[in-house]
Copies of this chain bind each other. A is one copy, B any other.
C-alpha cells in the first residue's frame, strides 16, 4: 500500500515533503527496528527519542504531537491519527496474511433443523447444532460445537466461536461476537422457599435479547429473564467469565471487565465502565457514565452521572481512597488515643492538686 492509501484508510493526515519519493509500505515494525518500507508508530512519549534515528519510511503519530521539532527529519513521513497504536494494529492486521478461522459454508456434520432459516453466505462448523424454528442471519459464522436452541435468532455478520451455547428463544443482534464457551439464556437463579426448608424452582419463562455490535467474552454466562428479557443494548462489551443474572438491563456502550457479576433485575446505564471482579447487587439502578473500580461492591442506586466508585461496600472513589489511606494509620491512632488518655489522666490529677 502507498502511504497515502494507508492514511486515507485510517482517516489520517500525511505530513512530509518527500511523499512522492517514498517507497510503498510493505510491513510494520517497532520504531527502533523499522527500516525502509516499514511503517511504525509513536504512542508512548518514552519512545519519542527514536524519531530522530528511526529508519522507517513512515510513522503514525498522534494529532497532538508537535511536528515542528522534527523539521530536519525531512525524509521521514508522518501520518497523524487519533490513536497511533490502534491505527498501527489495524495496519498490521491488514498486512498480515489472514488466517481463515471459519471454513466457508456449512460443514457436512452440522445438524441443522429443517425448520431453521439460514441466511446467505453463512459458515457453520463441524458438529454445530442449529435448533428448530431458529434463524441465522447472512454472513454469520458459527464455530464448531456451538448449539443454537429452538426458536433462537442470531443476526447477520455475527461470529460465534466454538462451543458457544445459545438457549431456546434468545435473540442476538447484528455484528455480535461471542467467544468460546459462553452461555446465553441459561435459567435465572430463582427459587421459592418452602416451609420445610426446601426450594421450589421458579419457572424462567423469559429470554435474553442482545443488541447490535455487542462482544461477549469466553465462558461468560447470561441468564434468561424470569419473565420478559435480560437485555444487553447495542455496543455493550463484556469480558470473560462475567455473570449477568436474570432480568438485568445493560445500557448502550457499557463495558464490563472480567469476572464481574451483576445480580438479578439490576439496570446499568449507558457508557458505564465496570472493572474486573466488581459485584452489583440485585434490583438496583446505576445511572449512565458511572465507573466502578475493580473488586468494588455496589448495593444501592447510583443516581448522579459521571462518578467513580470504589470499595466493598463502595463509596465515591475520592472519599473511599481517603478512607483507605486513613485505614493504614489505624494502629497508630489506637496508640495515640491511649497516649491521650494518659495525658488527660495526668492533667486531671495535676488540676486536682491545685
Interface residues of A in 6-51 (CB under 8 A from B): none
Task: Give this chain's copy count.
Answer: 3
Chain A positions 135 through 177: 1 when the CB is less than 8 Å from some CB of chain B, otherwise 0: 0000000011101011100000000011101011100000001
Whether A186 and B179, one on each chain, are in contact in the complex, defined by CB atoms closer than 8 angstroms, is: yes
CB distance from A129 to the nearest CB of B (A): 4
A200 CB contacts on chain B under 8 angstroms:
86
Is A218 in the interface zone, CB < 8 Å from B?
yes
Whether A239 and B323, one on each chain, are in contact in the complex, defined by CB atoms closer than 8 angstroms, is: no
A219 CB contacts on chain B under 8 angstroms:
181, 183, 219, 221, 241
CB distance from A165 to the nearest CB of B (A): 4
CB distance from A196 to the nearest CB of B (A): 9
CB distance from A337 to the nearest CB of B (A): 6
Contact stretch, chosen from A57-65, A70-78, A300-308, A345-353: A345-353
Separation of A187 and B240 alpha carbons in the complex (Å): 10
Is A106 in the interface zone, CB < 8 Å from B?
no
Q: Report, as a range, how many residues of chain A touch the other chain.
A: 35 or more
Is A259 in the interface zone, CB < 8 Å from B?
yes
Whether B203 and A189, one on each chain, are in contact in the complex, defined by CB atoms closer than 8 angstroms, is: no
Separation of A262 and B197 alpha carbons in the complex (Å): 22
Whether A189 and B257, one on each chain, are in contact in the complex, defined by CB atoms closer than 8 angstroms, is: yes
Whether A186 and B240, one on each chain, are in contact in the complex, defined by CB atoms closer than 8 angstroms, is: yes
A257 CB contacts on chain B under 8 angstroms:
189, 263
Chain B residue nearest to A86 (CB atoms) is B192
- Which residue of B109, B253, B295, B354 contacts A354 across the interface (Cβ within 8 Å)? B354
- Which residue of B295, B323, B341 contacts A312 across the interface (Cβ within 8 Å)? B295
Chain B residue nearest to A340 (CB atoms) is B340
CB distance from A284 to the nearest CB of B (A): 12
Separation of A270 and B215 alpha carbons in the complex (Å): 33
A144 CB contacts on chain B under 8 angstroms:
111, 129, 147
A329 CB contacts on chain B under 8 angstroms:
334
CB distance from A123 to the nearest CB of B (A): 13
Is A227 in the interface zone, CB < 8 Å from B?
yes
Main secondary structure of the interface of A (DSSP, over half): loop
Separation of A299 and B276 alpha carbons in the complex (Å): 12
Separation of A343 and B347 alpha carbons in the complex (Å): 10
Is A319 in the interface zone, CB < 8 Å from B?
yes
Is A213 in the interface zone, CB < 8 Å from B?
yes
Evaluate whether A243 and B240 lie within 8 angstroms (CB atoms) in the complex, with A150-B99, A179-B183, A331-B323 already known: yes
Whether B163 and A145, one on each chain, are in contact in the complex, defined by CB atoms closer than 8 angstroms, is: yes
A104 CB contacts on chain B under 8 angstroms:
none
- The 5 A-B pairs with the shortest beta carbon distances in the complex, nearest first, are A326-B330, A186-B218, A147-B162, A165-B180, A183-B218
Chain B residue nearest to A93 (CB atoms) is B203
Separation of A101 and B150 alpha carbons in the complex (Å): 7
Whether B350 and A351, one on each chain, are in contact in the complex, defined by CB atoms closer than 8 angstroms, is: yes
Separation of A86 and B330 alpha carbons in the complex (Å): 43
Of A180, A186, A237, A239, chain B has the most CB atoms within 10 Å of the CB of A180
Separation of A90 and B203 alpha carbons in the complex (Å): 7
